[in-house]
Every structure is written in structure tokens, then in C-alpha cells.
Amino acid sequence: MNREKALELIKEHITSEHLIKHSFAVESVMRELAKRFEPENEELWAITGLLHDLDVDQVDYRANPELHGKKTIEILKQENFGNEEMYHSICAHNQDTGVRIESKMDRAIYAADPITGFITAITLVYPDKKISSVKVKSIIKRMDEVRFAAGANREAMRSIEQLGMSFNEFAELALKAMQGISELLGL
């Protein structure tokens, strides 16, 4: 897996700064999850996280939600980049594609995607808006506040438990991962 090439693809296909930060955030969480669940595939997991939303600026997904993910695979195949495991996870992260969650990496990205936005939303309500100030217990507490960051899919985040990791551990892992790239995230 060539991260340099993946970064070029990000630059080429993603225009919104918000989405680029989101891509880095999901990469960081996927890298830490790989160390825990499939260390031999750390680069694959990280780069799959980095590229999972590559097509978001390309198609009107409100009209065609099932295309999000599939279009990314088209781009990656044209570029001769990635492998079938990566393609499967990228499609499975959007359940509208109809691709089922099967592998550990599928499960990991399904849970990692929403927790990054959730942690960002929590950071932004801290007085200093710094991710270094965020505590794991605030993540746990906010999970039960259904109106807070309502778009963050709680069920998807909690589904990490199917890999044998508690939600608390996952929250801690994701927070640490994102804290490690706070400058890149502007948080």
C-alpha cells in the first residue's frame, strides 16, 4: 500500500477541507484499530480509512445514496490502486450500497467513520475547542444524549463491540488517535 499515492488521490478528488480532515481522522482511528485487531494489515486499514470518502465530492448522493463507495471503487480501479478487501470495506461503510459487513476491517470502518465526527462535535463544545481537553467520559456521556450530534450513528459506533472491544475502549482509542494528529485536524 502506497500512502503517498493515496494522498495524491485525496488532493485530486476531494475539494472540501472539512472532508480532507475527516479522511485523516478516520485514517488515524483505523490505524490504531489495525494495531489491535490485524497488525499485519496496518497500512491497508489506515489507507482504507483515508480513502473511504474519496467520491463524496463527485456525485449527488442525496439523489443516489447507493452510489457512495461504488464510485470510489471505480476511481481506485482506474488508478490501479487498492485491493478487493479495501473495496469491500469502502462499499460496506455505506450500508446503502447493499454490501454487507463481513470482515473485521468492514466492521472497523463502519464504527470509525461516525466516531470521528462525534469526537469533533464534542471538541467544539469545549470552552477551548481543543481535542487535548476532551475526556473519554464526555464521549460516553454524550452517547446517551440523542439530540447531541444527532447525525452520528450511535448503533454504528457501538457495533465495535462485535469485534470484542468495549465502547469505552473504542472511545479512548479513537480519542487518542485523533489527539495524535490534532494539528492536522485543526483541533
CB of residue 152 to Fe ion, shortest distance in Å: 11
How many chain residues touch Fe ion (CB under 5 A)? 2
CB-wise, 32 or 113, nearer to Fe ion?
113
The site string for Fe ion over 2-21 (x = CB under 5 A, - otherwise) reads: --------------------
User: Among 53, 87, 115, 185, which residue interacts with Fe ion (rule: CB under 5 A)?
Assistant: 53
Q: How far from chain centre, in Å, is Cα 171?
A: 13
Residue 37, C-alpha cell as written in the block: 485487531
Q: Which of 47, 33, 93 is nearest to 101 (CA)?
A: 93
Q: Which stretch, 11-19, 50-58, 130-138, 161-169, contacts Fe ion (CB under 5 A)?
A: 50-58
CB of residue 112 to Fe ion, shortest distance in Å: 9
CB of residue 114 to Fe ion, shortest distance in Å: 8
- Reported for 180-187, long-range contacts at CB under 8 A and 24+ positions apart, including other chains, are 180/28, 181/24, 181/25, 181/28, 182/130, 182/131, 182/132, 184/21, 184/24, 185/21, 185/24, 185/25, 185/120, 185/131, 186/21, 187/120, 187/123, 187/129, 187/130, 187/131
Residue 68 in contact with residue 55, Cβ under 8 Å?
yes
CB of residue 26 to Fe ion, shortest distance in Å: 6
Q: How far is residue 44's CA from residue 80's CA, in Å, rounded to a whole number? A: 15
Binders of Fe ion in range 76-115 (CB under 5 A)? 113
Is 27 among the residues that bind Fe ion (CB under 5 A)?
no
CB of residue 113 to Fe ion, shortest distance in Å: 4
Binders of Fe ion in range 128-187 (CB under 5 A)? none
CB-wise, 59 or 133, nearer to Fe ion?
59
CB of residue 137 to Fe ion, shortest distance in Å: 25
Residue 6 in contact with residue 50, Cβ under 8 Å?
yes
> Rule CB under 5 A: which residues touch Fe ion?
53, 113
